């Protein structure tokens, strides 16, 4: 039975994927996965319902919790620059069964995040088509499968994912280039928001700074933590990065740092422009601009948000395929899914599988069910990865990463405690689904992975 804790020893320079992406691509892929529905959709609601203007402090708290996780990822990425991210780090440290559980949960998380964001995106897109262009979308194709409501498929959510996965099949460089454009637009949207919002800040809006007290700040932090997740996906593409020992850690840290800066400033401007009481709307940034009589800027922000959320789909989809690839290469899942396309040089079978699964999921399942499942898988992997670093530092003599979490003896423990507190605040149903998913995963592991693992040979 102790085979379940067998470890993988990584050989350097053995890779089937071409190294095509550089540090700028990585930073922008990170930002592409981080900045999305969180800042555009959740910020306003979290301010209105939980934190008030103190939302700025919630963002700070989220930044501390998740910021340490980014450092942890950077340390492990510098030690193990291989595909698969947290899954692979765990395989090298805590052993196969834990690695499988981490990989299994990350798959669900990336899959659900991509599908949920696609459904949310589709809602915005339909509204845009109807309100701005007057194009009416038939009801049958405008919602998840629900006979009573008369909807069969959310066609735009489905198509958005099909598009993203075609791009991912064609090539990593092509995907990164597309993402670079989207992220540039995304940052422009936020900069425009700040520039046009600043003059409208009314300091009276800050007078009641913590209307719901510190507890509200904390509850809002648990909610907006979602906005920070996503940088971990770039750890999964390490085998396609040039000089990964250096570029991947840099990409992880810079993408989160830049996003954090934007979040702090944007949330400050937002609650300065309008009273938090009015912000319980799904498009708070555009709404605030309407409120201060800047309708053109408001439209620009709405359209920008719609376009730029696509990058979250792309990066989550990318992470999904690379985790399947790594797991299959290790023999824990069907080996065919590690095949690389002769011309495109992408793990195309894993990508096609991901495309079929996620577009169907997004087309047929309602957003609410999807969104409730999210966060826990990623937070779980952040937690395990922090434990893995502590373990490696204590037990492995040869463990010598080129980057180390500074003040690790304090920060790692703070990270673990904060993550557990945030996880404890997640809804009950999320926990039940998490446990059910883990049990299904363990069954698959014992019925398939345990017997087929390539580690058996070593
Ligand atoms: N692993 C995840 N849960 N990723 C979801 C990322 C969501 C992204 N931060 C956003 O605000 O849209």
* pLDDT digit string, tens, across residues 327-351: 898 888 888 888 888 888 888 898 9
Which pLDDT value is given to residue 331? 84
Given ligand 1 and candidates 69, 111, 113, 371, which is best to mutate, with the most ligand atoms within 8 Å of its CB?
A: 113
Which pLDDT value is given to residue 168? 92
Which pLDDT value is given to residue 381? 92
Cβ neighbours of residue 3 closer than 8 Å, sequence gap 6 or more: 96, 450, 455, 456
Q: Which atom of ligand 1 is nearest to the CA of 117?
A: 12
Residue nearest to atom 10 of ligand 1 (CA): 36
Residue 362 lies in a domain: no
Number of independent structural domains in the chain: 1
ipTM for the complex shown: 0.96
pTM of the shown model: 0.91
Which pLDDT value is given to residue 223? 82
The whole-angstrom distance between residue 306's C-alpha and the CA centroid of its chain comes to 17
Residue 354 lies in a domain: no
**Alpha carbon of 184 to ligand 1 centroid (Å):** 18
Those residues of the chain that have pLDDT short of 50 are: 13, 457-458
Q: Are 78 and 235 in contact (CB under 8 A)?
A: no
DSSP state of 373: T
| Domain around 131 | 23-135+172-310+367-452
Residue 164 lies in a domain: no
Which pLDDT value is given to residue 422? 84
Which pLDDT value is given to residue 13? 47
Residue 125 lies in a domain: yes
**Alpha carbon of 95 to ligand 1 centroid (Å):** 27
Residue 250 lies in a domain: yes
The torsion of the CA quartet 166, 171, 174, 180, rounded to 10 degrees, works out to 90
Residue 321 lies in a domain: no
- Residue 282's CB: how many other CB atoms inside 10 A? 16
CA distance 131 to 379: 38
CATH code assigned at 412: 1.20.1740.10
Which protein residues touch ligand 1 with a CB less than 6 Å away?
34, 36-38, 109, 113, 117, 226-227, 229-230, 312, 316, 374-375, 378
Residue 179 lies in a domain: yes
Residue 356 lies in a domain: no
Given ligand 1 and candidates 30, 38, 119, 419, which is best to mutate, with the most ligand atoms within 8 Å of its CB?
A: 38
Which pLDDT value is given to residue 169? 93
Residue nearest to atom 3 of ligand 1 (CA): 375
Q: Which atom of ligand 1 is nearest to the CA of 42?
A: 11
Which pLDDT value is given to residue 324? 92
């Amino acid at each position: 039975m102790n085979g379940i804790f067998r470890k993988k020893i990584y050989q350097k320079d053995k890779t089937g994927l071409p190294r095509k992406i550089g540090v700028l691509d990585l930073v922008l892929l990170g930002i592409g996965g981080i900045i999305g529905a969180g800042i555009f959709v959740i910020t306003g609601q979290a301010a209105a319902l939980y934190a008030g203007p103190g939302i700025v402090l919630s963002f700070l708290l989220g930044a501390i919790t998740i910021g340490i996780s980014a450092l942890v990822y950077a340390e492990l990425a510098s030690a193990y620059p291989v595909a698969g991210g947290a899954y692979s780090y765990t395989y090298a440290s805590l052993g196969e069964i834990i690695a499988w559980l981490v990989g299994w949960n990350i798959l669900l998380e990336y899959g659900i995040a991509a599908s949920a964001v696609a459904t949310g995106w589709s809602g915005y897109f339909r509204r845009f088509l109807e309100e701005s262009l007057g194009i009416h979308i038939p009801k049958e194709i405008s919602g998840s499968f629900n006979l009573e409501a008369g909807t069969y498929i959310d066609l735009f959510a489905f198509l958005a994912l099909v598009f993203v996965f075609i791009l991912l099949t064609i090539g990593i460089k092509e995907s990164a280039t597309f993402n670079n454009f989207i992220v540039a637009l995304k940052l422009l949207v936020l900069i425009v928001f700040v520039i046009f919002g600043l003059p409208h800040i009314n300091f009276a809006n800050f007078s009641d700074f913590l209307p719901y007290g510190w507890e509200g700040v904390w509850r809002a932090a648990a909610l907006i933590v979602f906005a920070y997740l996503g940088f971990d996906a770039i750890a999964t593409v390490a085998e396609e990065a040039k000089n990964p020992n250096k570029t991947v850690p840099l990409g992880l840290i810079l993408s989160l740092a830049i996003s954090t800066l934007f979040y702090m400033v944007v949330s400050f401007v937002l609650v300065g422009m309008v009273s938090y009481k009015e912000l319980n709307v799904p498009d708070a940034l555009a709404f605030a601009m309407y409120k201060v009589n800047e309708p053109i800027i408001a439209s620009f922000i709405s359209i920008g948000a719609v376009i730029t959320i696509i990058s979250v789909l792309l990066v989550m989809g990318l992470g999904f395929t690379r985790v399947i690839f790594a797991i299959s290469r290790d023999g824990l899942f069907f080996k065919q899914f590690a095949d690389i396309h002769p011309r495109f040089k992408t793990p195309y079978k894993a990508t096609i599988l991901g495309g079929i699964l996620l577009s169907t999921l997004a087309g047929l399942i309602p957003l609410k069910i999807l969104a409730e499942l999210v966060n826990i898988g990623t937070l779980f992997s952040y937690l395990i990865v922090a434990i893995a670093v502590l373990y490696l530092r204590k037990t492995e003599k040869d463990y010598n990463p080129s980057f180390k979490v500074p003040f690790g003896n304090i920060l790692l423990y703070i990270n673990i405690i904060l993550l557990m507190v945030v996880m404890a605040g997640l809804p009950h149903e999320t926990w039940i689904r998490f446990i059910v998913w883990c049990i299904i995963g363990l069954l698959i592991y014992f019925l398939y992975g345990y017997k087929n693992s390539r580690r058996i040979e070593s």
